[in-house]
Amino acid sequence: MKITYLGHASLQIEIANKIIIVDPFISGNELAKSIDVNSLKADYILITHAHQDHILDVETIAKNTGAIIVSNYEIVMHYEAKGLKGHPMNHGGSWQFEFGRVTYTNAIHTSSFPDGSYGGNPGGFIIESSEGNIYIAGDTALTMDMKLIPMQTKLDLAILPIGDNFTMGIESAVIAADFVQCDKILGYHYDTFGYIEINHQQAIDKFKEGGKELNLLEIGASLEI
Ligand code: NI
Ligand code: MN
């Protein structure tokens, strides 16, 4: 499994020759100007919630690639009404896709579309595959629900928001890593705008104190598990 950081909370995940794009917010991110949205390939687009900083480039990528949009029911209906293909899910449900098994998990956050219309409830994803198991937390607070995850899944990597203000910050994310029983973390949802700028070395040190490895990728860089 190869995970490429596309900036903010945007990821490209390659599993079993399939390409999954998560929460594409690229064309609106000055820090991600090295990434060309129109050159991205995708078989699936996973969306954690309807906020602008997670959906901005969904339509462009879906139209370019014919990718299937996987999200909560309300978000998928929103895109199906525009003629795009989707697979609706809801919290606690799993589905076996051709690249692996996806579960839509709880997140503590909000999920309106930019025009204020209803975007269902926010979530995250667990992906279990022959190439490893990962948790993509989405925008969320630290929540006790995270303790349920290791009861069913042995994670190889947890992708956690660390930018604070709109999501949990570093200290909560270290606890979240304990809750999901995973020592290898990829941080996301930081530095994109002023409210969520972090000190990288301090963040890495805090995780190290907690016995965890925090990975912070340059935009466009990848991590293999
Ligand atoms: Ni959000
Ligand atoms: Mn966000």
Q: Which ligand is nearest to the CA of 122?
A: 1
- pLDDT (tens digit, 0 to 9) for every residue of the chain, 225 residues total? 999 999 999 999 999 999 999 999 999 999 999 999 999 999 999 999 999 999 999 999 999 999 999 999 999 999 999 999 999 999 999 999 999 999 999 999 999 999 999 999 999 999 999 999 999 999 999 999 999 999 999 999 999 999 999 999 999 999 999 999 999 999 999 999 999 999 999 999 999 999 999 999 999 999 999
Residue 214 has what pLDDT? 98
Residue 15 has what pLDDT? 98
Give the global pTM.
0.98
Q: What spacing in Å lies between the alpha carbon of 190 and ligand 1's midpoint?
A: 12
Residue 213 has what pLDDT? 98
For ligand 1, an ion, list residues with CB under 5 A. 51, 139
- 173-192, pLDDT tens digit by residue? 999 999 999 999 999 999 99
Domains of the chain: 2-224 (3.60.15.10)
Please say whether the beta carbons of 168 and 180 come within 8 A: no
Residue 149 has what pLDDT? 98
Q: What spacing in Å lies between the alpha carbon of 87 and ligand 2's midpoint?
A: 22
Q: What spacing in Å lies between the alpha carbon of 199 and ligand 2's midpoint?
A: 19
Residue 53 has what pLDDT? 98
Q: Which ligand is nearest to the CA of 188?
A: 2
Residue 72 has what pLDDT? 98
Q: What spacing in Å lies between the alpha carbon of 193 and ligand 2's midpoint?
A: 11
* Residue 139 CA to its chain's centroid (Å): 8
Q: What spacing in Å lies between the alpha carbon of 130 and ligand 1's midpoint?
A: 30
